[in-house]
Amino acid sequence: MRVLISADMEGVTGVSGVADVRPGEPEYLLHRKQLTAEVNAAVRGVLARHPGAGVTVAEAHAAFRNLLLPELDQRARVLRGGPRRHGMLAGLDGGADAVIFLGYHAKAGTAGAVLAHTVSGAVIADVRCQGVSLGEIGLNAALAAHLGTAPVLVTGDDLAAEEARRTVPGVHTVEVKRALGASAADSLHPALACELIEAAVPAALDARDRVLPPRFDGPVELEVDVHRPAMAERVLLVPGTERAGGTTVRYPAPDYPTAYRLVELVAVLGLAAS
């Protein structure tokens, strides 16, 4: 059994605003500690069900450098830094049986969700594959499925959990907080959040064959809405892209992994125009 834990940060219990997840801010260290604790809870859950499992943690927030490594469970390996192949799901190239999305958040435009965004809140307003709107939960679930890995568990606020169940039927969820707004949350005690995550992992792994993630086989028509026309103009420098509106760029990707990489590139190019 091989399990990847993709560790984002906005969906960690207690996180309720940008300053909580931004390096250099006073509250960041506190929430780094909780992120590490929730990751450790997931590691314990995996190894309780499959003692011989290989567990890899892929840092998946901001510059992919957030976990407190001395406090990380020593039985797990960790992937840090970027850019890197498959972004938030780096590590799936070697194969895995299941992936856990820990500390995830709802997609851009989700009313009332804590820190909702898709890849880059400063750049991207929406992403559509074959006309289907997807946030990071859907985009990463589809990539995992393409690579033969089942996304089995999503942790975050209640609206992220609702999105996960809608987008990935059969996935298990843990709600560590209730969203009260873009920068407000009713959170569980940190220790209780960890207990719930650890307890949820074994059943989620057992049910991996019943998960139905979105799949995009063959060519994929990708559309990305950005916030400003100048951002779209930057993206149009990529060969094959075309404008589908003032702030919408279309790209006919030959396959889903290429579409996924293009979304990451849109985020990078768009920031140059912000």
In CATH terms, the fold of domain 220-271 is Gyrase A; domain 2 (3.30.1360)
Burial label for 245, CB within 10 Å (0-12, 13-18, 19+), is exposed
Nearest one of 150, 107, 112 to 129, comparing CA atoms? 107
Q: Which CATH number fits domain 2-119+135-210: 3.30.1330.20, 3.40.50.10780, 3.40.50.300, 1.10.1520.10?
A: 3.40.50.10780
pLDDT digits (tens, 9 = 90+) for 194-236: 999 999 999 999 999 999 999 999 999 999 999 999 999 999 9
Residues of the chain with pLDDT > 90, as a percent, come to: 97
Bridge-partner residues for 54, per DSSP?
Answer: 2
105 is in an annotated binding site: yes
Q: What is the pLDDT of residues 60-79, one digit of tens each?
A: 999 999 999 999 999 999 99
Asked whether 42 and 84 are in contact (CB, 8 A), the reply is: no
The per-residue pLDDT for 95 is 87
Distance in angstroms (rounded) separating the CA atoms of residues 196 and 42: 9
Query: Is the separation of the CB atoms in 216 and 259 below 8 Å?
Result: yes
Mean pLDDT on 171-189: 98
- Summarize pLDDT for 118-157 with one digit per residue, the tens: 999 999 999 999 999 999 999 999 999 999 999 999 999 9
Burial category of 73 from C-beta neighbours within 10 Å (exposed 0-12, middle 13-18, buried 19 and up): middle
- The H or E element spanning position 124 is strand 124-129
| Rounded distance between C-alpha atoms, residue 194 and residue 141, angstroms | 23
Residues 92/162, Cβ–Cβ less than 8 Å: no
Strand pairing class (76-79; 54-59): parallel
156 closest CA partner among 167, 146, 145: 167
pLDDT at 118: 98
What's the number of CA atoms in the CB half-sphere (13 Å) around residue 126? 13
Tell me what pLDDT residue 44 has: 98
Q: Please say if 146 is a catalytic residue.
A: no
Q: Domain coordinates of the chain in residue numbers?
A: 2-119+135-210, 220-271
Set 31, 117, 172, 227: catalytic member: 117
CA-to-CA distance for 12 and 32, rounded, in angstroms? 9
Predicted pLDDT at 127: 98
Residue 198 is assigned to a ligand binding site: no
